[in-house]
Amino acid sequence: MNRRPQRGHPHLTGRQRILSLDAESDHHRCVIRILGGGICFATATVPAGTPSTGLPELRQRFAAWHDPIPSLLTAADPDAVLHNDIYELPALKSYVKGRIALLGDTAHAMTPNLGQGACQALEDAAVPARVAAQDGDLTRYDAERRPRTQMIAARSNGIGRVAQLGSPLAVRLRDTALRLIPSAAQFKALAPVMDWQG
């Protein structure tokens, strides 16, 4: 769990301030980031298409979690809850056709396990301007962006598979392995994702 100090709790009206709170347990994840407006998202590992009752289900699933998750759910507006399954795009053969280039999720919608979907959309957006200033050949955009974004999408998918392991033995092995890997090595493994220079 990553948790920083919070202000404005429990009702978070007016100048709302929370900050950052990530928690994971037993195939559920809850992420809260609120600054002024506010958005929280929660995930549960269930088959796509599983019906949901919206806020009542969230309150029930997260009832036993630590403060402030249950109290925020108590205060939430049922009409403000959006429920979606998470899908990813299969790896496309090209992001470019003629003078049309796909950017962001249209090109590489990925699972959110690495927190990279919007980051990659921003990186995408920087490249066509550079290409336009050179010779306008959009295949350069495809050659530069497709391998990188598909590598990151594949990594994100892999992390999701490991994070969603169901067998207690596999979970114990995973958790032990993660504890044993030094954080420096974990950061190093992320370097290809984080070190884009544009």
Ligand X SMILES: Cc1cc2nc3c(=O)[nH]c(=O)nc-3n(C[C@H](O)[C@H](O)[C@H](O)COP(=O)(O)OP(=O)(O)OC[C@H]3O[C@@H](n4cnc5c(N)ncnc54)[C@H](O)[C@@H]3O)c2cc1C
Contact residues for ligand X (CB under 6 A)?
41, 86, 104-105, 112, 115-119, 121
As a three-state string, the secondary structure of 166-198 is: CCHHHHHHHHHHHHHCCHHHHHHHHHHHHCCCC
Rank residues 122 and 170 by Cβ distance to ligand X and give the closer one: 122
Under 8 Å between Cβ of 8 and 18: yes
Q: Smallest distance from the beta carbon of 88 to ligand X, in angstroms?
A: 10
Omega of the bond prior to 68 within 30 degrees of 0, cis? yes
Rank residues 115 and 158 by Cβ distance to ligand X and give the closer one: 115
As a three-state string, the secondary structure of 93-144 is: CCCEECCEECCCHHHHCCCHHHCCHHHHHHHHHHHHHHHHHHCCCHHHHHHH
Sign of the alpha-carbon dihedral angle for 93, 96, 98, 100: positive
Rank residues 97 and 172 by Cβ distance to ligand X and give the closer one: 97
| HSE (side-chain half, CA atoms, 13 Å) at 156 | 23
Rank residues 90 and 182 by Cβ distance to ligand X and give the closer one: 90
